[in-house]
Amino acid sequence: MNDDQATPGDDASRRPLGDLSGMAELKLRAGSRPEELYEAAERLCREASDDGSAASAASAAAVRTIGRVADVLAETRSRDCARFAVDLVGRLLPTGPAGRREGDQLRRSVAAKLAEAQQLRDLALLFEELPDDAEDPSADVRACLLGEPALIGAGRGRPVLDAYAERLQELGHPLAVLPRTRLDVEHRFTVRVRGLGSVKTPDQLRSRFPEISPTDGGAAAGHTAGQTPDGTRARAAAEPFTAGGWAREPEVRFFTLPRPLDPDDFNISFVKELPLDCMVGEGAHRGGAVACRTTPDDVLNTLFAAAYDGGVNGRPQGGAYARLYAWKSLYALLGLPADVPFPEAVGQALDHRWLRFMAFTDWFHHDTADEAFAVLDPTRTRVTVLAATDTDTDGQ
């Protein structure tokens, strides 16, 4: 064949991806000739990798373009599309520092889309070759894929998937610590209920959770609380929000009390007396602070949703990593070591007392999303507070 001649397929596969970046055309191509879309994306990956570190901006742009292609392939139900999507994000993405975070997020996003759109029997074909390195991106995207069905109680009982999961455990992949099935306490993960979005007003908070009345004893006890800083534990508790790209660094504080706190005094009066940034200026604004009793499953679901949905800075983490960050945060709030089994952690969480609270301060904007929890341990002498806001104060 003459070099000047080209078949329609050849012509399409050689077009720059920028010419194919309209979503309608990408979806059409994924449904009819996915191999051409894959070849064009593969070529862009090679070009970005060949440019080297000097072209970090170009590399990041390439990751975003390839991400759109991988997303479309992942959402197009076919064995080939699934294979192409995993290969793009697991093997071919540029690995320079400029694209590292985007690559991590993309692998998680593509895994979530694959789990939702593809047949499990087709996905199982992607796990026939066992990994040798837990840090290999191709192993990471498959680890995410294993984690997604667990959120709906599926994926176990297939030898090829079970063997891959066992190898990930042997290699020490971070997702391998998670249960392969959904625990009862996780029953709200990914569930959307109309009218049950983020709580933005005291009336909404009171309508969903039982309010706890303020007491003078709570205020007096709050005065006696001493801080016990722990940076490592604080970072773990905040991770669902920081990983998800929430607008502001969360506040995490740990306190000890000289004597056991009366359970009835664990209320908003107590919280208001703690040295918390999120409560600075309370009382100077219109509206009053309120605290309501909540449960571990509500807290865990909030932590999961923070990472799963992402914040205003737009970094949704996908189901598998959102689940990991939620559990790590819960363990940090409880002060548990990582080797405590999940069912035991759930039992210990039930022995704690949990509050949701909100106030009218410069921290709580009652706008995009505000979350604040306080937890009292069974000895009633240790308290942890976590507060997060997704309102971008710099943009106001």
Instruction: Check whether residue 179 and residue 213 sit in a common domain.
Output: no
Instruction: Check whether residue 129 and residue 228 sit in a common domain.
Output: no
**Residue 1 covered by a domain:** no
**Residue 370 covered by a domain:** yes
**Residue 127 covered by a domain:** yes
Instruction: Check whether residue 253 and residue 292 sit in a common domain.
Output: yes
Render pLDDT for 293-336 as a digit per residue (tens, 0 to 9): 999 999 999 999 999 999 888 889 999 999 999 999 999 999 99
Q: At which of 186, 211, 228 does a domain end?
A: 186
Encoding tokens for residue 326? 């939620």
**Residue 274 covered by a domain:** yes
pLDDT at position 197 is 64
361 vs 175, more confident? 175
Instruction: Check whether residue 140 and residue 239 sit in a common domain.
Output: no
The percentage of the chain sitting over the pLDDT mark of 70, rounded to a whole number, equals 87
Instruction: Check whether residue 231 and residue 373 sit in a common domain.
Output: yes
Instruction: Check whether residue 17 and residue 105 sit in a common domain.
Output: yes
pLDDT at position 194 is 56
What distance in Å separates the CA atoms of residue 277 and residue 248, rounded to the nearest whole number?
12
Res. 18: pLDDT tops 60: no
Instruction: Check whether residue 223 and residue 101 sit in a common domain.
Output: no
In this predicted structure, which of 88-102, 148-162, 344-358, 375-389 has the lowest mean pLDDT? 88-102
Instruction: Check whether residue 260 and residue 329 sit in a common domain.
Output: yes
pLDDT at position 170 is 98
**Average pLDDT of the residues in 66-77:** 93
Render pLDDT for 183-237 as a digit per residue (tens, 0 to 9): 999 998 987 665 566 777 888 899 999 999 999 999 999 999 999 999 999 999 9
**Residue 192 covered by a domain:** no
Closest CA to 21 of 77, 80, 82, 64: 64
Instruction: Check whether residue 100 and residue 247 sit in a common domain.
Output: no
**Residue 212 covered by a domain:** yes
382-389 and 251-256 beta bridge pairing: antiparallel
Q: How many domains does the chain have?
A: 2
pTM equals 0.90
**Residue 194 covered by a domain:** no
pLDDT at position 52 is 55
Q: What's the domain range around 367?
A: 202-395
What distance in Å separates the CA atoms of residue 71 and residue 79, rounded to the nearest whole number?
15
**Residue 2 covered by a domain:** no
Q: At which of 161, 186, 211 does a domain end?
A: 186
Instruction: Check whether residue 255 and residue 370 sit in a common domain.
Output: yes
What distance in Å separates the CA atoms of residue 115 and residue 111, rounded to the nearest whole number?
6
- Give the bridge partners for 291, in sequence order: 357
CATH number at residue 233: 3.40.1000
What mean pLDDT value characterizes the chain? 88
Render pLDDT for 328-359 as a digit per residue (tens, 0 to 9): 999 999 999 999 999 999 999 999 999 999 99
Q: At which of 121, 151, 186 does a domain end?
A: 186
At 164, give phi and psi (nearest 5°).
Answer: -65, -40
Instruction: Check whether residue 296 and residue 211 sit in a common domain.
Output: yes
What distance in Å separates the CA atoms of residue 257 and residue 96, rounded to the nearest whole number?
48
